[in-house]
Amino acid sequence: MSVSNISRRNFLRAAGLTGTALFVGLYFPANAEEAKVAGADAVEATDIELNAWVHIDTDGKVTIFSHRAEMGQGAYQSVPQIVAEELEVNLEDINIRFAQGDRQKYGNQVTGGSSTIRGSYKNLLKLGASAREMLIAAAAAKWTVPASECYAEAGHVIHRPSAKKFHYGELVEAASKLSAPKDVVLKKRPEYKLIGKPLKRQDTPLKTNGSAVFGLDFKLPGMLYAVVERNPRLRGKLKSFDATAALKVPGVKKVFKIQTGVFQTFRDGVAVVADSTWSAMQGRKALIIEWDDSGFEHISTDEIYHRQSELLKTEEGLSVRKQGDPDTLLNSAAQKLDVIYETPYQSHSAMEPLNCIAYYQPDKLEIWGPIQAPEWVQDFICTQFKLPREKVVINMTFLGGGFGRKAFMDYPHEACLISKETGTPVQVVWTREDDMTQGPYRAGISYRCQGAIKDGQFIAFKLKAAGQNIYHWMGAPKTQPNRSISEGFLAPYYKSIKDLSIADIPFETPIPNVWWRSVYASTNGFAYESFMNEMAHLAGKDPLDFRREYLKEEREQKLMDKMEELSGWKNRKKGEGFGLAITECFSTTVGQVVKVSRKSDGKISIDKVWAVMDCGWYVNPDIIHAQVEGSILMALGAATKHEITFKDGLVEQRNFYNYIMPRINDMPEVAVHVMDNDENAGGVGEPGLPPFAPALTEAIFDLTGKRIRKLPFKLDEV
């Protein structure tokens, strides 16, 4: 990683922090996975840019710069909760500020893959502990006593024998002159005062009193507003447009063509710029446009799944993993199963529509908005505008949901293009119809699962998947399989099922696809765990007992014990349908049990969901509960309510009137249990989604005898 010099004085000036302060940060030595702690003196001495930092001013106020986005997942709470634990300060004494996008300073800033805590918690603990030890050393020097006689508590350093104390603000000047300790002793879990506790979120007051700044809230002097009429088919081109009527709309300033980057291609559109979003929208309606949609296929949903089905019959695909000889065993087996599962395309449909502000100036291009991946945006914009990294500044705001869509680069690129053309700061806003009809989407995927049973044992498993590969859109070689096709499948199965293969069959359409909550595990999990349930029945075994034979590790066994205990699995009653599934993604395993029954009107009711999450080391159980509950509701919508469909290359859904979202009365009762152990932290925001659909369809089978292998399905029609 290249480095450049930054003085402590310049940092404080740029961050808007003044006065004497203790400035402690993290940096990554070349090729190191874990950060080291440095004080301000080390920055100037070694020319290393800091990766993350704590700032304590003379009043004792602590400011933490968060390098990740807050989109509802709780990073705004969890990061300070970690630092405050080892720093020994009260959580209410901490300020949080979003850091600007800069890979050289902060390393990986992509808020995705449920990685914020699991990727940084060890470094953040060391950061807090190092700052604490520097403050203790400063106090000990003032008192001329051994540091071992001092301890930190509630933002103070206390001398144990005399009970004398300093608050941190009285120590920062002296502490700021010290070098950071090379090694610090971290607390044991039983010693935690904050971590592991269900503390109230710091962003809740901001979001309820209106002071939280989301992308749509941010304003700049002289800012104009823009909307874009885009070709409804991604690969279509702009043939001509007439802006005469649009320019007559009061407030409309300018109308012009733009081409926005979408992975390896570009989307044609016409930008309408005005003095308000409303005026821009009215101007857009007045445009007369002719598109050229020749030269590429206009595909429909039925054709997509027909082709996938044919490929699963005729192609072996690109190997993702193979062990043993499953084909020979499948060919000779007397008891075997060969089925296809289908999952739909999905829109992200975050409640906050896409938006972004950009201000292109001769010496700088600055961006503000709800951005999940500032470093990716910076990379893309630098390339497109041929600017050095230091000239492109990315500022993050709160996000009203993201789910992977706001990690994409197209909407910031639009704002930059429009600002350059107008010479003013511009906010581009997408309507709900823009978001839903333009994508990119979670890809719909078909899976062929084959398995063999002999003497009650699962002896062979073969999976092939046909669906779009995000990495091919990103430029990966077409000969490279989608290795995320194994995402969601539990690693212990590789040990216990000796003969298995997983393969990816390349499948392409003109439809753009991108990450969606839990990425490929959201679709893979339905196939893997639905098939595991079907194989259990083929073997004549209880689905939970069947899994116990193949998930032999202690963590999985304890998780299944808890699932059984909480759901009363062994005490199921007649007239009740129970189903379960267990998936793993982003280093976290989640097991869910779903209970269904028939209501008096004959319709299926989801009575309760029990979710058991093993995410290892964790910060705040309330945040985990909220994320699992949200994941289950999102999974319910994707399984039973909505899908994106195509006809003649056009998206058929435009808004929530035909992309139906779950309502509050659709939310089942959910009980969440978090396993306690000392394992490394796993993700929390996404792993709760994949097991729900297969657990639900198994519960329906248990109640009705009907197998559901295609999503979405209508719960009222089962």
Q: What CA–CA distance (Å, rounded) separates 471 from 454?
A: 38
DSSP 649-670: TEES--STTTSPPPPGGGPPEE
Of 209, 232, 257, the position where a domain reaches its end is 209
Q: What CA–CA distance (Å, rounded) separates 636 from 346?
A: 13
In a domain, 135, yes or no: yes
Percent of the chain with pLDDT over 90: 82
120 and 152 belong to one structural domain: yes
pLDDT at 101 over 90: no
Question: What's residue 64's pLDDT?
Answer: 82
Q: What is the pLDDT of residues 284-300, one digit of tens each?
A: 999 999 999 999 999 99
Contact in structure between 392 and 378 (CB atoms under 8 Å): yes
Residues contacting 134, CB < 8 A, separation 6+: 22, 24, 39, 175, 178, 180, 181
Between 29 and 656, the more confident residue is 656
Amino acid at 232: P
In a domain, 302, yes or no: no
DSSP 344: -
Of 209, 237, 261, the position where a domain reaches its end is 209
Question: What's residue 31's pLDDT?
Answer: 40
pLDDT category, 10, cuts 50, 70, 90? Answer: very low
Contact in structure between 592 and 692 (CB atoms under 8 Å): yes
Amino acid at 718: V
pLDDT at 267 over 70: yes
Average pLDDT over residues 380-384: 95
In a domain, 1, yes or no: no
Beta strands 604-614 and 588-598, pairing class: antiparallel
Averaged confidence pLDDT in the chain? 92
pLDDT at 701 over 60: yes
385 and 415 belong to one structural domain: yes
pLDDT at 44 over 50: no
235 and 382 belong to one structural domain: yes
pLDDT at 321 over 60: yes
423 and 448 belong to one structural domain: no
Reading the block at residue 413, the tokens are 């690129």
Q: What CA–CA distance (Å, rounded) separates 398 from 176?
A: 31
186 and 228 belong to one structural domain: no
Q: Which of 13-22, 61-70, 165-174 has the highest mean pLDDT?
A: 165-174
Tell me the CA distances in angstroms from 224 to 80, 414, 492, one per residue in order. 36, 14, 56
Contact in structure between 48 and 156 (CB atoms under 8 Å): no
- Among 107-121, 292-306, 521-535, 695-709, the minimum mean pLDDT is found in 107-121
In a domain, 597, yes or no: yes
384 and 482 belong to one structural domain: no
219 and 112 belong to one structural domain: no
198 and 90 belong to one structural domain: yes
Average pLDDT over residues 203-227: 96
163 and 281 belong to one structural domain: no
Q: What CA–CA distance (Å, rounded) separates 371 from 375?
A: 10
Q: Which residues pair with 224 in a beta bridge?
A: 426
Would you mind telling me the total number of residues written for the chain in this entry? 718
In a domain, 671, yes or no: yes
Question: What's residue 395's pLDDT?
Answer: 96
Question: What's residue 566's pLDDT?
Answer: 98
Question: What's residue 693's pLDDT?
Answer: 98
Question: What's residue 362's pLDDT?
Answer: 87
Q: Which residue is it, tokens 């056009």?
A: 650
Average pLDDT over residues 269-291: 98
Of 188, 209, 230, the position where a domain reaches its end is 209
What is the Rg, in whole angstroms, of the alpha carbon atoms belonging to the chain?
Answer: 27
In a domain, 307, yes or no: no
- What's the CATH number where 195 sits? 3.30.365.10
Average pLDDT over residues 181-207: 94
Average pLDDT over residues 597-618: 96
Distance of CA 468 to the CA centre of its chain: 19
Residues contacting 30, CB < 8 A, separation 6+: 1
pLDDT at 17 over 50: no
Question: What's residue 376's pLDDT?
Answer: 94
Q: What is the pLDDT of residues 344-378, one digit of tens each?
A: 999 999 999 999 999 999 899 999 999 999 999 99
Q: Which helix (H) or strand (E) holds 127?
A: helix 121-143
pLDDT category, 34, cuts 50, 70, 90? Answer: low
Average pLDDT over residues 53-78: 86
DSSP 49: P
472 and 524 belong to one structural domain: yes
**Residue 290: which domain range?**
215-295+354-429
Average pLDDT over residues 466-471: 96
Question: What's residue 24's pLDDT?
Answer: 62
563 and 630 belong to one structural domain: yes
Percent of the chain with pLDDT over 70: 93
198 and 322 belong to one structural domain: no
Q: What CA–CA distance (Å, rounded) separates 566 from 632?
A: 17
Question: What's residue 425's pLDDT?
Answer: 98
Tell me the CA distances in angstroms from 231 to 255, 443, 498, 613, one per residue in order. 16, 20, 50, 43
In a domain, 605, yes or no: yes
In a domain, 434, yes or no: no
Determine the 3-state secondary structure of 279 from DSSP.
helix
Distance of CA 702 to the CA centre of its chain: 33
Contact in structure between 596 and 606 (CB atoms under 8 Å): yes
Question: What's residue 282's pLDDT?
Answer: 98
Q: Which helix (H) or strand (E) holds 143?
A: helix 121-143
Amino acid at 314: T
Spatial strand order in the sheet of 252-262: 252-262, 265-274, 224-230, 426-429, 355-361, 364-369, 392-396
How many structural domains does the chain have?
3
Tell me the CA distances in angstroms from 365 to 85, 138, 361, 409, 417, one per residue in order. 38, 42, 6, 15, 11
Average pLDDT over residues 166-180: 89
Max distance between CA atoms of the chain, in angstroms, equals: 84
Reading the block at residue 370, the tokens are 């709800």
Between 411 and 95, the more confident residue is 411
Q: Which residues pair with 339 in a beta bridge?
A: 449
Q: What CA–CA distance (Å, rounded) separates 476 from 259?
A: 23
Average pLDDT over residues 398-422: 97
Between 294 and 30, the more confident residue is 294
